[in-house]
Amino acid sequence: MHTSEDRDAATRLAVKQARDDLLAFVMLMNPSFNVGPHHRLLCDQLMQLEQGETDRLMVFVSPRSSKSLITSTYFPAWALGRNPYWQEIAVSHSDDLATKFGRTIRDIINTTAYNTIFPKVKIKKDNRAANSWALEESGKQAGSFLAAGSGSGIAGFGAHLAIIDDPISEQDAFSKTRREQLNEWYSSGLRTRLMPGGKVVLVMTRWHENDLAGHLLKQQESSPLADKWSVVRIPAINTAESAQQLEKARDFLITQGYLTESYPKPKLGHSFWEAPDRENGFLLGNRGHNTYKKQYTPF
């Protein structure tokens, strides 16, 4: 039988873990979250970025994997709790989507659970619009948050952390003009708003080899002065590399008590890749699909 002292001790431990570990924060904020090894791997990379071990991170994970939920909502809220004087900028392909992220982060910070984990951090009552709000710590003015669509004017705002989530739509991804406009906006716009030591996370679906991610990775290869990016790439069906990474993350989740030994190990396969083809853009792998004569196309 658990006593109130036992429950209080367990609560204190959970709160401390949530302050120190992004995935523990996600689990405490959302107890129904269905955790998997890819979440552990993603959170570890984001934690390294927050702690200054890296400063540029790309995330290529298959759709419906909670990558935006973690990277673009829980992570910026957690980072502000640990760094309340940070300024953050969130970017997506539309103002509406970016504002949606801003509203969600603001609402997370306003919850009782968040205030238990980070009791000194509050949203300023007189500066709380969904797309632009400010923080206070212990009653003193602290950091800020701005949400903007890619290509928007962000002059006058700085960023200790910039999170770019799908900065181009699927339709625009195949427009050379739109891709080049986005690449230029990043270089001459968002990139110039970074504070000293500023960090950037880019999470996106790869539709074209010359999208923003491809553009930045080519710069990295061609110039010693270009930003150096860490990359998290987890296809829906694993490569040998991703299977090895995920098995390690699975084992760690078991030691943490989030998974049991019965959770299946990641398997090697071939299908969905976060690496676009030059001619056809985003593709299935070269196995696992069939060719049909026109009259028998199953659509």
Report the percent of the chain where pLDDT is more than 90: 66
Q: Which residues lie closer than 8 Å to 12 by C-beta, 6 or more apart?
A: none
Average pLDDT over residues 93-120: 97
The whole-number pLDDT of residue 38 equals 84
Q: Which of 22-26, 45-49, 142-146, 284-288 has the lowest mean pLDDT?
A: 284-288
18 pLDDT above the threshold of 70: yes
- Reported confidence tier of residue 109, pLDDT bands at 50, 70, 90: very high
- The answer as to whether 289 is a domain residue is no
Q: Which of 140-144, 170-174, 191-195 has the lowest mean pLDDT?
A: 170-174
Distance of CA 79 to the CA centre of its chain: 12
- The answer as to whether 292 is a domain residue is no
204 pLDDT above the threshold of 80: yes
Average pLDDT over residues 154-167: 95
Q: Nearest 5°: phi and psi at 111?
A: -75, 155
The whole-number pLDDT of residue 279 equals 45
299 pLDDT above the threshold of 60: no
The whole-number pLDDT of residue 295 equals 43
- How many domains does the structure of the chain reveal? 1
- Reported confidence tier of residue 283, pLDDT bands at 50, 70, 90: very low
- The answer as to whether 34 is a domain residue is yes
The whole-number pLDDT of residue 80 equals 98
96 pLDDT above the threshold of 50: yes
265 pLDDT above the threshold of 60: yes
19 pLDDT above the threshold of 90: yes
- The answer as to whether 296 is a domain residue is no
The whole-number pLDDT of residue 7 equals 79
Average pLDDT, the chain: 86
The whole-number pLDDT of residue 286 equals 40
**Domain at 79, CATH number:** 3.40.50.300
- The answer as to whether 102 is a domain residue is yes
- The answer as to whether 87 is a domain residue is yes
- The answer as to whether 283 is a domain residue is no
H or E element in which residue 163 lies:
strand 159-165
The whole-number pLDDT of residue 205 equals 86
DSSP string, 94-159: SHHHHHHHHHHHHHHHTSHHHHHHSTTEEEEEEEEETTEEEEEETTEEEEEEEEEETT---TT--E
Q: What is the pLDDT of residues 206-238, one digit of tens each?
A: 888 999 999 999 999 999 999 999 998 877 666
* Domain that residue 244 falls in: 4-277
- Reported confidence tier of residue 285, pLDDT bands at 50, 70, 90: very low
- The answer as to whether 175 is a domain residue is yes
What sign results for the dihedral spanned by CA atoms 36, 38, 44, 49? negative
- The amino acid present at 63, given as its one-letter code, is P
